[in-house]
Each structure stands twice: as C-alpha cells, then as structure tokens.
C-alpha cells in the first residue's frame, strides 16, 4: 500500500470513525443526563462495581487477539481467516468458562467489591461476556481493513437501544436493572449484526499450532490489558470498599462522563492510528510523520476541551447531571484537565509500542505507574474522598514521565518533538483559559457562563490562526473532509 492510498484510507477511516464517535458521544451524554435525573448516585455505584467485574473478565475473553489480528502481517486471506477462526473459538470457550466461575462465586465477589447481596445481579449481568466474545473478532477484521463505515452502522444500533429499553425501565422503577438489561441488549445487538454483515464466518476448525503463535504476541497484550484495568479501576475499588456506594457512583459517573466527552476524539482516532502505524512500522520517517500529525490534530480539540471543562465545571454538571449532582463539579473539573494532558502526551505512546510489535513496553509502563498509583490511592483514601480525587488525578503525570523515558531511551523516539509539536495549541488553550477565568469573575449565572464559553471559543480559534502551520493544516483538513462523505 503506497503513501497516497494509505493517506486516503486513513482519512476515510478517521471520518467514519469520527462520525461513529460523534453519534455515540452525543447520544450517550443525553441518555446519562436523563438517567441522572431519574436514578440516584447509589444506583450508578452498583452498576460501576458490576462493570468493574465484567470489564476485567472481558480482558480474558478477548485474550489480546483483537490487537494481534490488526497488527500481524499475514501472507494471504486464508492465513488471516484461519487465525481469526482460532481466536473466535478460543474467545467463546474462555467467556463461558469465566461466566461459570463468576456465577459460582458471585456472592463472594459481590462482598469483595462492596455490594453484598448482589451476587445474582452480577451473575446475570455477565451474560454479556459470551456476547462480546462473539463480535470481537469481526470488529478486529473490520479495523484491519479500515472498514469503519460498517462499524458505524453497527454501533448506531446499540447507541439507540437505551432509548427503547434503559430509559423506559428506569421510569418504571427498575433502578440499576434498567442500565444492566440495556447493556445486555446492546451487546446482543452488536453480536447479531456483526455476525450477519461480516464476510468472515467462523468454521468448526481449530489449530493448536496457530494458537501458540498467536499467544506469543497476545499474552503480552493480555498482561498489559490487566495492568490497564488495574490502573483504571483501582481507585473505584478503593472507594467502593473504603467509602460508600454514593461516593463510588459520584466519582465513577463523573469520570466516565468526562472520558466519554474526550473519547469523542480518542476513540475515533486511536484505532485508525494503530492500524496506520502497524502498516508503517518499518518506515521510520512515515511512522513519525503520521504519529505527529495525529497528535497535533487531537491536541487542537482536547486541550481547550480539558481546560474549558475545568473552568466551567459547575455549568457542565448542571447541564449533564442536574442539581442533585452538584458535588460532581470538582471531580469533573480536575479529571478533565489532567485527562487532556494525559491523552496528548501519554495515550498514543501505547499505540506506538503495539504497532512496533512490542506490547511488553506498554505493560512495563503500566507496572511502573501502578507501583506509584497503588500507595497514592491507599494513603490518600485515608484523608477522605476529595484528597483521593485530586491525588488520583494528578498522579497521572507520573505515567507520562514513564512513557517519555521508555519512548526516548528504549525506542529512540524524539520525545521533545512531542512537546514542541503541540506547543501552539497548548499556548492557545492556556491563554483561552486565562480569558475564561477572567470572565468568570464578573457573574456566576448560567447565561453569562454560556456567553463566556462562546467568547473563549472565538478567542481560541483566533489564537490558533496566529500560527501559520496550524492554520494551513486546519484549512487543508477541512478541504479534504468535504468531498466523499458518502464513500
């Protein structure tokens, strides 16, 4: 695949991936806004603990095969589909095994995560494990082929399921069951539609030899995924066991909402970047060019979004959650600010490791972060909820330092270029933030806040246009996105 063809496919894939995430991130907050006004934070706390268990089990049901199928270079379609077949049946077997184990020990698990008496709820919710195992391989093959248009239509179906199941059940008083059952139906819809539309269909065949070859790569992706899970859920586990369901629901719902807003960009670009870098893994010059181009593009949106949410966190909470979630403002603000920094300087480093076929480096980065994160969370939890929130948020800067050291001294990656590459957008966003802070001193009304947000946006765009390189990239991107939306 030549550079022109790769650029065309990347642009088309990014376009459809972005449309998918825009749809998801517009609809999902609307659903959460409605549910937050019906359900109490305690209900979201119950769902968070169940999601914690399911997400951990899902790591094993995928076993890292998705990334292998995207990254590996196959001789032909026959070899690719043989590997997909082995991955599929392995995923199915593991998912049913884990579902059985979780069902058998559901009550002890419920006590472990601070929800004693909800063992049956956990067992029923885990029906999602085999459903996600069914669809995961098809998704990997679509991503490998840059076929994000099909994934858009599949995702669109599951996006709108809550409107027909979750929200009506919440209104009828089903509490946390409304969210759980909605998630099950969403997983079921994904599995059915992907299986029907996929060109590849699983066959009753298996090869232990292929499994061994896949595991040589996937075992490290699996270990890395476990370390990522620990990084993502360690704070929630401590809050659920040390504090109460109220604080767990408050914390996890707030951070999840922020992650959803920022994932509007990251979820749309990460799979595309990984696919492109995997293809260019042996072309150093093009590899760097694609990485820095994507990093700068993402920074244009993520930096001002993170600073904006931090400044106007009370407004964000009122719009997204309603008045009874007023405590969430502090969580939303600090998490958005540190997330923006983490995404630009740390998030895409893991894609570099995997694209280079070195997932061990990503695991190393996660372990080096965990050895600091664990004691910080445990110690800060003893001083109360807010100390834990701020400590957990800012300790992510240590993870960025770890990534920089690995990228610089192990991969020989130009780390300083990662900073200078986004300096124009960082400066523009910081100046915008200063202007926003100044405007907030005049009035605290919702109307003035909305007007201030609009002014900040105008100032930010104007500041960006003072940098010629950024201006050229934005204009070029807009010109290229106009034609071919239906492709």
Does the pLDDT at position 247 exceed 90? Answer: no
- What per-residue confidence (pLDDT) applies to 17? 61
Q: Model pTM greater than 0.75? A: no
Structure tokens at 247: 């604080």
For 179-221, the pLDDT digits (tens) are 899 889 888 888 888 888 777 888 887 888 888 877 776 677 6
Average pLDDT over residues 437-444: 88
* Integer Cα distance of 149 and 142 in angstroms: 9
- What per-residue confidence (pLDDT) applies to 302? 92
Residues 6+ apart with CB under 8 A from 284: none
- What per-residue confidence (pLDDT) applies to 458? 92
Domain closes at, from 400, 421, 442: 421
Run of H or E residues at 416:
helix 415-421
Domain closes at, from 406, 421, 436: 421
Does the pLDDT at position 486 exceed 60? Answer: no
Higher pLDDT, 166 or 228: 166
Q: Which DSSP string corresponds to 3-37?
A: HHHHHHHHHHHHHHHHHHHHHHHHHHHHHHHHHHT
Does the pLDDT at position 20 exceed 90? Answer: no
127/97 same-domain check: yes
435/349 same-domain check: no
Structure tokens at 347: 């998030």
Does the pLDDT at position 393 exceed 90? Answer: yes
- What per-residue confidence (pLDDT) applies to 404? 95
Q: Is 253 exposed, middle or buried (0-12, 13-18, 19+ CB in 10 A)?
A: buried
Residue 26 pLDDT level (bands cut at 50, 70, 90): low
Does the pLDDT at position 19 exceed 70? Answer: no
363/455 same-domain check: no
412/441 same-domain check: no
pLDDT above 90 coverage of the chain, percent:
23
41/173 same-domain check: yes
Instruction: Return the SS3 of 115.
Output: coil
440/337 same-domain check: no
* Integer Cα distance of 17 and 269 in angstroms: 7
Q: Count Cβ neighbours within 10 Å for each residue of 330-344 and write b for 16 or more, e otherwise.
A: bbbbbbbbbbbbbbb
The mean-pLDDT minimum among 103-107, 188-192, 317-321, 470-474 falls in 470-474
Average pLDDT over residues 369-393: 92
* Integer Cα distance of 313 and 293 in angstroms: 30
58/126 same-domain check: yes
107/175 same-domain check: yes
Higher pLDDT, 474 or 57: 57
* Integer Cα distance of 191 and 61 in angstroms: 14
Does the pLDDT at position 439 exceed 70? Answer: yes
Domain closes at, from 366, 400, 421: 421
412/447 same-domain check: no
> Which domain range does residue 141 map to?
3-421
For 56-91, the pLDDT digits (tens) are 887 777 666 777 777 677 777 788 888 888 888 888
337/349 same-domain check: yes
Average pLDDT over residues 467-478: 71
Query: What are the φ/ψ torsions at residue 125 (nearest 5 degrees)?
Result: -60, -30
Average pLDDT over residues 3-15: 60
225/369 same-domain check: yes
66/31 same-domain check: yes
Structure tokens at 485: 């939306």
State which of 258-267, 324-333, 353-362 shows the largest mean pLDDT.
324-333
* Integer Cα distance of 86 and 65 in angstroms: 9
The mean-pLDDT minimum among 105-119, 360-374, 375-389, 415-429 falls in 105-119
> For residue 29, which of 246, 251, 249, 261 has the smallest C-alpha distance?
261
Chain-wide mean pLDDT for the chain?
82
- Count of domains for the chain: 2
């Amino acid at each position: 695949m030549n550079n022109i063809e790769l650029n065309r496919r990347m642009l088309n894939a990014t376009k459809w991936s972005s449309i998918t995430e825009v749809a998801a991130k517009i609809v999902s907050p609307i659903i959460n806004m409605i549910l937050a006004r019906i359900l109490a934070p305690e209900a979201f706390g119950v769902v968070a603990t169940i999601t914690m268990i399911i997400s951990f089990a899902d790591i094993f049901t995928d076993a890292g095969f998705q990334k292998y199928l995207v990254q590996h270079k196959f001789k032909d379609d026959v070899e690719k589909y043989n590997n997909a077949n082995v991955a599929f049946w392995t995923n199915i077997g593991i998912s049913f095994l884990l579902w059985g184990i979780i069902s058998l020990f559901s009550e002890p698990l419920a006590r472990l995560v601070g929800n004693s008496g909800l063992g049956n709820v956990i067992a029923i919710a885990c029906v999602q494990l085999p459903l996600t195992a069914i669809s995961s391989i098809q998704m990997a093959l679509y991503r490998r082929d840059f076929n994000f248009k099909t994934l858009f239509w599949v995702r669109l179906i599951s996006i709108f399921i809550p409107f027909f199941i979750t929200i009506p059940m919440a209104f009828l008083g089903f509490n946390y069951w409304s969210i759980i059952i909605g998630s099950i139906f969403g997983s079921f819809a994904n599995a059915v539609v992907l299986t029907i539309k996929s060109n590849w269909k699983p066959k009753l065949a298996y090869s232990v030899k292929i499994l061994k070859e896949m595991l040589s790569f996937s075992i490290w992706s699996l270990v890395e995924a476990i370390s990522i899970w620990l990084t993502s859920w360690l704070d929630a586990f401590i809050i659920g066991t040390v504090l109460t369901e109220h604080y767990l629901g408050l914390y996890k719902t707030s951070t999840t909402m922020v992650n959803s807003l920022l994932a509007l960009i990251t979820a749309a670009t990460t799979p595309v970047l990984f696919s492109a870098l995997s293809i260019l893994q042996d072309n150093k010059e093009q590899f760097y060019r694609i990485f820095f181009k994507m990093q700068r593009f993402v920074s244009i949106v993520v930096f001002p979004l993170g600073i904006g949410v931090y400044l106007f966190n009370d407004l964000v909470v009122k719009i997204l959650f309603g008045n009874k979630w007023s405590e969430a403002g502090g969580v939303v603000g600090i998490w958005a600010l540190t997330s923006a920094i983490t995404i630009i300087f740390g998030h895409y480093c893991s894609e570099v490791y995997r694209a280079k076929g070195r997932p061990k480096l990503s695991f190393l980065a996660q372990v080096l972060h965990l050895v600091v994160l664990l004691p910080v969370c445990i110690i800060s939890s003893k001083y109360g909820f807010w100390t834990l929130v701020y400590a957990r948020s800012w300790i992510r800067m240590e993870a960025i330092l770890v990534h920089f050291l690995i990228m610089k001294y192990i991969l020989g990656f130009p780390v300083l270029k990662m900073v200078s590459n986004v300096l124009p957008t960082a400066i523009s966003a910081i100046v915008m933030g200063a202007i926003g802070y100044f405007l907030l001193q005049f009035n605290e009304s919702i109307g003035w806040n909305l007007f201030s947000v609009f002014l900040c946006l105008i100032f930010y765009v104007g500041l960006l246009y003072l940098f010629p390189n950024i201006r050229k990239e934005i204009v070029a991107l807009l010109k290229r996105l106009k034609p071919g939306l239906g492709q």
